[in-house]
Amino acid sequence: MNALIIFVLLLALMLTGMPISISLGLTVLTFLFTMTSVPIESVALKIFTGIEKFEIMAIPFFILAGNFLTHGGVARRMINFASSMVGHWHGGLALAGVMACALFAAVSGSSPATVVAIGSIILPAMVKQGYPRGFGAGVITTSGALGILIPPSIVMVMYSVSTNTSVGKLFMAGVIPGMMLAMLLGLTTWFLARKNNYPRMQKASWKERFVTFKKSAWGLLLIVIVMGGIYSGAFTPTEAAAMAAVYAFIIAVFVYKDLKIKQVGKVLLDSAAMSAMLLYIITNAVLFSFLMTSENIPQAMAEWITGKGLGVISFLLVVNVLLLLAGNVMEPSSIVLIMAPILFPVAIKLGIDPVHFGILIVVNMEVGMCHPPVGLNLYVASGITKMGISELTVAVMPWLLTMLAFLGLITYVPQISLWLPNLIYN
Amino acid sequence: MKFLDHLEEWLIASLMGAATFIIFVAVVHRYLAGLPIPGLQDFLIQINTSWAQELCIYMFVWMAKFGAAYGVRTGIHVGVDVLINRMNPRWRDRFIVFGLAAGALFTGIVGTLGASFVWSIGHTDQTSADMEVPMWLVYLAVPLGSYLMCFRFLQVMVHFIKTGALPKHDHSHVEGLEDELTAEEKGAKA
């Protein structure tokens, strides 16, 4: 009964359009003042200590690192490199778009920024080459979402914070699914392009490939620093994030020279504001899950579900549907912070691997960003292509279906996610 | 008012930069101190950087609280607006005002809770584990930040009622994109 009141209250508050962090906090306060005997002091303590973990501090550092490299110049370099590699195949420029999105998204860490950066440069070029507008829009909208699966990923840090799963393992687990999804999106593009006979580009020479690679390599090295640092044990994930931020600063200001030194303050301010927003949601989500735990809700749900005889297969199906629905109205970080603490105990009770469960949630978030009526990427893409949402919905369909099929695969074949981390950590 | 705005921006940006720098230095120090260079090694081992993590956490706590207030002013806190965007404008406006008032209420309550908490630990001699600074000083961020946030919510609400405009943060802004696109146009013409 209490669980029902909490959820209805939260849902009602959220639907009024107030910030998600505020609706979480007000739900907790209302419940505490009216219905429970949990002392208010313990809540006050949670407000103070909710984000006092060094692991959480990876989030601001990753945001800062990403913001230094979220720049038109970096996007251009990634596109040049990608088109020199895959441009000569069917649908060359579109394939390059998929690859450039994957690279830029991994480095910048923001899906909407990826759609805008890569899309604004590559879409006009595609139209000029004779591609229909919807084709390019479909490619970029869906490929832009790749970033949260390819490490370093902030959404994965969020999951690890709310479930105490190892960040290192999650990052490793994201590598193969991330590359696989990029390949599947590319394959879909290739088939459509071959069927419709879309233009190919001239094959680049190995020299051109090397030159474009060298230019984009400075940015891509960021991923290597983070992954290598964590894997070799040289850095903790948070330290790796801080090193990545310093590295990104040096590359942006002194190597690429995209950023003037007086613009650095603005990048710091934007990153601080973005991090503060996420940390504020975390603080309130910690309060919320504290309330849930003190009311024994996750445990009760776990028992109820196992008592119903719901097996792994049907539970994961329910999780997917639930997360896809949530993906309609909220952005990934909030969904993970609210849903993960509730669903995680059930998953553990059913014997699902925590890392696999995390990857499953992240893939879900990716699909959620691209599907109508309210995917974030869809909106951003509609902004830069001047296409309506319904028109775009039709345009993204082939890639969206690919993503959904991939989600099914990830859900029921845990080995795709677990093979690499198990190989490395065991 | 302008002064407060600038102070807020300057504070969170420098906390962000300083925390990054501190962790960077601590990591570099850890590795350099491992190198067997006579003299330098002895010197480096004497320097203690174990407080770096703690300082970084507290800096980010301060940044988070004041950054959240700055975020209210710039409209970075996102909510679920699918439903209210489909209502007629009069009801939509009412819900927006309600949301902002709720924000002010929540942050006001948290600020007050925080203030009394800080008051009570101010009378103890609790200090932090590594740096041994008094805890009330660390936790002062909560009442200060929350009250500032409360003030910002009210400010945005008054502004909205007067002018009907809300601050809106562009989550998809990419620096330097304009330059790239104009460079391309010029290149095409040449």
Partner-chain contact A72 B84, CB within 8 Å: no
In whole angstroms, what is the distance from residue A51 CA to residue B57 CA? 8
Q: How confident is the model at residue B134 (pLDDT cuts 50, 70, 90)?
A: confident
- Residue by residue, DSSP assigns A315-359 as HHHHHHHHHHHHHTTS-HHHHHHHHHHHHHHHHHHTT--HHHHHH
pLDDT at residue number A300? 86
**In chain A, what residues touch B60 (CB-CB under 8 Å)?**
51, 57, 60, 275, 279
φ, ψ for residue A103, nearest 5 deg:
-70, -50
Candidates A142, A188, A151; CA nearest to A170 is A151
Over residues A232-237, mean pLDDT: 90
The Cα A2–Cα A33 span in angstroms is: 14
Beta carbons within 8 Å of B143's beta carbon, 6+ residues apart: B111, B112, B114, B115, B118
Cβ separation of B83 and A283 shorter than 8 Å?
no
Query: H or E segment at A29?
Result: helix A20-35
Residue B164 confidence (pLDDT): 86
Give residues with Cβ within 8 angstroms of B111, minimum separation 6.
Answer: B142, B143, B146, B147, B149, B150
| A28 has a pLDDT exceeding 60 | yes
pLDDT reported for residue B186: 65
Residue B175 has pLDDT above 90, yes or no: no
With tokens 């909208």, the residue in question is A141
Chain B residues with CB-CB distance to A371 below 8 A: none
pLDDT, one tens digit per residue, over B24-76 is 999 998 888 878 888 888 888 777 777 888 899 999 999 999 999 999 999 99
Percent of chain A predicted with pLDDT > 90: 62
Say what the pLDDT of residue A353 is: 95
Q: Are the C-beta atoms of residues A226 and A151 closer than 8 Å to each other?
A: yes
A246-281 burial code (b ≥16 CB/10 A, e <16) = bbbbebbbeebebbeeeebeebbbbbbbbbbbbbbb
> What pLDDT score was predicted for residue B190?
44
Extract the tokens encoding A223. Answer: 């991923």
**R_g of chain B, CA atoms, integer Å:** 23
Q: Which of A306, A307, A321, A308 shows the shortest CA–CA distance to A352? A: A306
Q: What residues are paired with A287 via a beta bridge? A: none
Report yes or no: A399 and A142 within 8 Å, Cβ to Cβ: yes
Q: How many residues does chain B have?
A: 190
Quote the tokens at residue B149: 């946030």
Give the whole-angstrom CA distance, residue B152 versus residue B156. 6
The alpha-carbon radius of gyration of chain A (Å, integer) is 22
Task: Name which of A9-13, A101-105, B40-44, B147-151 the model is least confident about.
Answer: B40-44
Alpha-helical (H) ranges within chain B are 2-32, 40-46, 52-74, 82-85, 89-122, 135-139, 141-163, 177-189
Please give the Cα distance from A367 to A215 (Å, whole number): 31
A276 in reach of chain B (CB within 8 A): yes
As given in the structure block, the two tokens for residue B68 are 């959240």
The total number of residues written for chain A in this structure = 426
User: SS in 3 state form for A120-175?
Assistant: HHHHHHHHHHCCCHHHHHHHHHHHHHHHHCCCCCHHHHHHHHHHCCCHHHHHHHHH
Average pLDDT on A83-106 reads: 92
- Please compute the mean of the pLDDT values over residues A64-74 and round it to a whole number: 93
Identify the DSSP state of A257. Answer: -
Tokens representing A233 are 């044990």
pLDDT for position A296: 86
At residue A38, φ and ψ (nearest 5 deg) are: -65, 125
Contact A327, A368 (CB under 8 A): yes
Q: From chain B, pick out residues whose CB is under 8 angstroms from the CB of A273.
A: 12, 67, 70-71, 74, 76, 169
Residue A122 pLDDT: 93
Q: Which of A341, A288, A373 is nearest to A46 (CA)?
A: A288
- Band (pLDDT 50/70/90 cuts) for residue B188 is low
Average pLDDT of chain B is 88
Report helix, strand or coil for B79: strand
* CB-nearest partner of B177 from A16, A26, A117: A117
Closest listed residue to residue A249, CA positions, set B122, B78, B16, B129: B16
pLDDT of residue A141: 93
Beta-carbon count within 10 A of A291 CB: 22
At B172, give phi and psi (nearest 5°): -115, 25
What is d(CA B96, CA B83) in angstroms, rounded to the nearest whole number? 12
Q: Is A165 within 8 Å of chain B by CB?
A: no
CA distance B78 to chain A (A): 5
Q: Taking CB atoms and an 8 Å cutoff, what residues of chain B touch A18?
A: 79, 98-100, 102-103
Q: Per-residue confidence at B187, pLDDT binned at 50, 70, 90?
A: low
pLDDT-based confidence at A272, cuts 50/70/90?
Answer: very high
Closest residue, chain B, to A10 (C-alpha):
B80
- Rounded percentage of chain A residues whose pLDDT exceeds 70: 100
Give dist(CA A245, CA A236) in Å, integer. Answer: 14
- Please, are residues A373 and A389 in contact by the beta-carbon 8 Å criterion? yes
- E-strand ranges in A171-328 read none
With contact defined as beta carbons under 8 Å apart, do B97 and B161 qualify? yes
Mutate to test the interface with B, among A14, A15, A16, A226 (most CBs of B within 10 A): A16
Query: Tokens in use for A29?
Result: 């306060």
Q: At CA A161, angle to CA A180 and CA A418, rounded to 5?
A: 30
Max mean pLDDT range (A289-298, A320-329, A341-350, B95-104): B95-104
Q: How far apart are CA A303 and CA A313, in angstroms?
A: 17
Which residues in chain A touch residue B139, judged by CB atoms under 8 angstroms apart? Answer: 48
Using the structure block, give the residue that is written with the tokens 């849903």: A339
Mean pLDDT of A297-303: 85
pLDDT, chain A, mean: 90
Residue pointed to by tokens 């800062």: A64
